[in-house]
Amino acid sequence: MTEHDAHSAGLERALAAGYDDAAVQALRLWPVDSRAKSVPAAWWGLTTDEVVATRTTLTELPTPIVTIDATALAHNLTVMAQWCADRGVHLAPHGKTTMAPQLFARQLSLGAWGITAATTTQVAVMRSVGITRILLANELIDPVSLAWIGEELTADPSFEFYCYVDSVRGVELMDAALHGVGRPVNVLVEVGRPGGRAGSRTLAESLAIAGAVAQTSTLRLAGVAGYEGSYAHDLTAEAFDAVEGFLRGMRRTVAAFAQQGLFDGLAEVIVSAGGSAYFDQVADVLSEPWDLPQAVTVVLRSGAYVAHDDGHYLLLSPFGRGGETVTPFKPALHAWARVLSRPEPRLAILDAGKRDVAYDLDLPVAQRVRRSDGTTTAATDCVVTSVNDQHLFLSVSPEVVLEVGDVVRLGLSHPCTVFDKWQLLPVVDDDGIVVDLVRTFF
């Protein structure tokens, strides 16, 4: 399935959110300058289209730099869109992964139900390009932020906003901050687990929260949400059982709300879960038939699929671990770092560090070496052992020819902590030519 085909299919999905394409395209007019990390001086003052016209190649980019593979990016976007459509679930990709309005626009054009945010700062970025449906996957009790959300809802009738609540006290604080707002704020009761992060711990608590919401005029109970990723971190049978149990608990919560009449008057109930590791289980369990008078919209919040990776999600994602029949996701992010020093026979020091690459879940993986004469070879027997702020330590077999000045391509893990290190990311095609620039707003 091509991106064009997926776009056409997405337009047929009535629940897909909108955005302001002119605002997204305006980002291409912003000139590149020296505040964007690791871009050649020849680009300073140029717009995106002018940069693309230079047909800059990878060999002309300074190091360290992180690039996006254009083919892999398009592949991942279309595969996920088609997968969700085939299973009858909706996708609100987590925007915290990329914070890139250009990528949000591509996700929405492929039929995404909306975009997920983690903070109101992220919501503001999304609203700056006119995104019409945003799910804030977090509690919102800050009165200043609530006042701004109220202003957005009042000013734009097309804006559809959802957030979480997990306590009666939270309901009270939201209600107090939202008096006078013309439209109620949609809330999902978040369910969690003992020892986990936010989320009500028992069904009784969840019912009390939903009941409190029903007593307000400022809030509207829209459904139930949770995050199964806090229950499991590997691919063991115990992990899958824990995720299954959590999802079954979500279903029981939805059923209990319905039995208490808490969804009366709604045409649709939102049920949302799904990180980037177990979203196949989420789709399977939450898409089972529901015994409710309302339609149930299942919303996944997976975000890392956009870039996938060569570490954490390569192992955990359904499209990395071999549990799906579709073509796997492709790693779309690569870092390029130059050998600065060979101080010891088994050690090379590269010019990338914690300010450039992810290191929170897995260290980068050395993949290819580009020598000074332009030839490339596999980075055999080269292992990243640690990273400092601006340096990377590469353990090298004595038999490996790796010289000062050579450039190493690094595969990365956990894209969420790569995008946030780069204000501007070159997108390169299969020939290594820069064909676009992606701006991030963290």
Window from 3-12, 230-239, 312-321 with minimum mean pLDDT: 3-12
Q: How far, in Å, CA of 257 to CA of 250, rounded?
A: 11
Distance, CA of 174 to CA of 193 (rounded, Å): 23
The pLDDT of residue 26 is above 80: yes
Residue 355: predicted pLDDT: 97
What's the CA gap between 15 and 20, in Å, rounded?
Answer: 17
Instruction: Copy the structure tokens of residue 109.
Output: 């054009």
117-152 pLDDT, tens digit each: 999 999 999 999 999 999 999 999 999 999 999 999
Q: How far apart are the first and last CA of the chain?
A: 32
Q: How do residues 70-102 score in pLDDT, each as one tens digit?
A: 999 999 999 999 999 999 999 999 999 999 999
d(C-alpha 400, C-alpha 381), whole Å = 7
Residue among 115, 129, 116, 103 nearest 307 (CA): 103
Reported as a pLDDT band with limits 50, 70 and 90, residue 325 is low
- Work out the burial of residue 180: count CB atoms within 10 Å of its CB; fewer than 13 is exposed, 13-18 middle, 19 or more buried: exposed
Res 10: pLDDT: 38
What tokens appear for 108 in the block? 């929405």
Bridge partners, 65 (sequence order): 336
Complete domains list, the chain, with CATH: 71-309 (3.20.20.10)
DSSP-based three-state secondary structure for 102: helix
- C-alpha span between 244 and 252 (Å, rounded): 12
pLDDT at 6: 39
- Classify residue 248 by its DSSP letter: H
Number of H helices, E strands in the chain: 13, 18
Q: At what angle do helices 70-87 and 101-109 cross, to 10 degrees?
A: 40
Residue 323: which pLDDT band, with cuts at 50, 70 and 90?
low
CA–CA gap between residue 228 and residue 244 (Å, rounded):
9
Categorize the per-residue pLDDT at 4 as very low, low, confident or very high, splitting at 50, 70 and 90. very low
Q: How many CA atoms lie within 13 A of 5 on its CB side?
A: 8
For residues 357 and 65, what is the distance between their CA atoms, to the nearest angstrom?
A: 9
Q: Which residue has the higher pLDDT, 185 or 398?
A: 185
Closest CA to 279 of 319, 328, 236: 319
In the numeric block, the tokens 């991030």 are attached to: 440
For residue 110, the SS3 value is: coil
Q: Are 161 and 131 in contact (CB under 8 A)?
A: no
**What torsion do the CA atoms of 175, 180, 186, 192 make, to the nearest 10 degrees?**
-20
Whether residue 54 contacts residue 40, with contact meaning beta carbons closer than 8 Å, is answered with: no
Q: At what angle do helices 279-286 and 237-259 cross, to 10 degrees?
A: 40
Number of CB atoms found within 10 A of residue 380's CB: 11
Give per-residue pLDDT as tens, 379-437: 999 999 999 999 999 999 988 899 999 999 999 999 999 999 999 999 999 999 999 99
pLDDT of residue 326: 63
